Structure 1
Amino acid sequence: MNQQATTRMGINKQTQQEKLRSRPWVATLILVGGLVALALGIAVSVSFGAADIKLSVVWTAIFHFNPEITEHQIIMDLRLPRVLGGVMVGASFAVAGAIMQGMTRNPLADSGLMGINAGAGFALALCFAFFPGLSFMYLIFYAFLGAGGGAAIVYGIGSMAKGGLTPTRLVLAGAALSLLLQALSEGVALYFNIGQDLAFWYAGGVAGTKWVQLKIMLPWVGGAIIGGIILSRSITMLSLGEDIAKGLGQRVGLVKLAGALIVLVLAGSSVAVVGSVGFIGLIIPHLTRYLVGVDYRWIIPCSAILGSLLAVFADLTARMINPPHETPLGAIIALIGVPFFLYLARKEKREL
């Protein structure tokens, strides 16, 4: 038996051992139970607000809408788009984080920590300053460009350091770039007097989400999540190492390019809707891997469900803390995300 065949057998054996760590029954339970919990969360979130509405009225408004009833108008025009926006954004950030962590084998990877969200936000600031009144479709497009530019700069800075890319270097580069782009965005806001327009994106939240935004966002997000599921097997191989992926016949460069495009679509479209909301893509993939194992064919769809749940219930909590005022969604998630990030950074114990 030649060396190549021996290597391939070793790779296949290791891959099978890794697959044995997956727990499909837990993943199935998460998918089914998560969808039920998500439906209940949506119903409760729609019914709760400055004017509490009974769940029976919510059901009637959704399936037998009457525009002459004020409560039906509140549900269909204000609350339901808001909650569904949270569902889409939570799923987007979670899947983006899972794909990033799988492809780069970086446990600290997250669109908010890698400069992607900040790049998209800076692009939006420029749009508000130089192209006021731009349609939401164009805002999403420029958010994609900004997200891609932010990611390219972070990876460029991280790769220039001696010793190459490490999770800590990438996170530090992302944090530095995020602060820079945020400062530039604030400077643009002050100079062009658009601070009020950008305040929503600074805080991060789904309040004010409209149906037109969801209709434009849905094809992008839906297509990107489906693309992530299609790539999930290849991402599983990449998560074991590039050498193993190549040995199993994976076209690593093509997979990384496709994965990067999916991440940019998910993060860019989400930032265009809710602004600077971080840590969903950091927390959820780790929780999902702990529950279902290392197979990304389960991790990606389960991350989408758990990310949606986190966003919906975090938004509900944001409205309950100090009614009728609202706490920013980004602040609620950061209360969980920052300690979790510090725990992961301490666990890594890697030198700069």
Structure 2
Amino acid sequence: MLKKFINDRVSWKRVLSLLIMFLFIFILSFLIISFCIDKSILISFMNFNIRGLDLVYFLITVAFYLMFKIIRVLQKKYYQGFCKVVLNFSNIILIIFFLLSSFIYIIRRSNSVYYTFKSPDKKHTIIAKETSILLLGEVSLYERENPFFIKNLDAYILPDDGYTPIYNNDYNIKWNENKFSLSVYDASGSKDWISVSVNLENKDVSYKHSRSDEINVTKQDKENIEDNIKDKDSLNRQNILNNLSIKDAIKINDSPYGIIMVDKAGPRNLWYFIEFKDNRMIYISELPDNSPIVNGSFDLEGNINLKFEDINQNINKYISKDGGKTWSKK
């Protein structure tokens, strides 16, 4: 009976060793494939994510285990003298390195969390990796390509002070077919928004930033974040307006809108379309024509119409159907 138990135990140890070796080779091959195709590993199982970091740590653990086994065999053979000292010292070094690698693994894994967002048509799955280490924070975006691999979209948001906006539910994601925008608070208690927009067809990435004390101050509804956000160029243009006099603006009758010249080069003028609000001029758009004479009006359908006249009395007409944000030639 004892002999059978020992044989069974030896047999199970052999099976376990073969299984570990098979997993080692399989995971190593998996990591090599991931490196060659330039993809990251993220296997989602129920509510648990297996990351490439986990697989690397498994390989490191098996490697250390094999080295410990080799040293143990050598210790049985060289159990005295200088060789014994060297082998004991090697054991200590291995233990230190293993504890250090385990510490690094635990820190890296605990400081990052993955969140999944699916498009309304279920065709795209976006993975947001939120990382926070001391005062450093980052949200990096990936697209899932299959159950095993995700592709880096090279789109990042860097919140201040290590803030984790997704974890704190201070975020909003909006989809428009194959495009999406993720907007988050810049920091804890901040009123500043950062937004990153990604076109999943051509992988084009753009960023926007909003200071709520300058733009659309009355709106803080996260469902309408895009209405609060303007790009950095708009902020620069708003700063230009802040240094101009409201008396120089041309008001469009029976409306809160107007036009102002912000630069002049010979017969060519640079015009901004603006909104008057609380005795301030709020930037909406840059007008598409540089002619020196311009006037505007509203039609019965609520569209904004502009007429430009150059020095040769040539006339160009434009119309906006979205409150002056975009213009088309008539």
Q: TM-score by structure 2 length?
A: 0.21
Greater share of strand residues, 1 or 2? 2
With a CA cutoff of 8 Å and minimum separation of 6, indicate the structure with the bigger relative contact order: 1
Greater share of helix residues, 1 or 2? 1
Q: Which has the larger radius of gyration?
A: 2
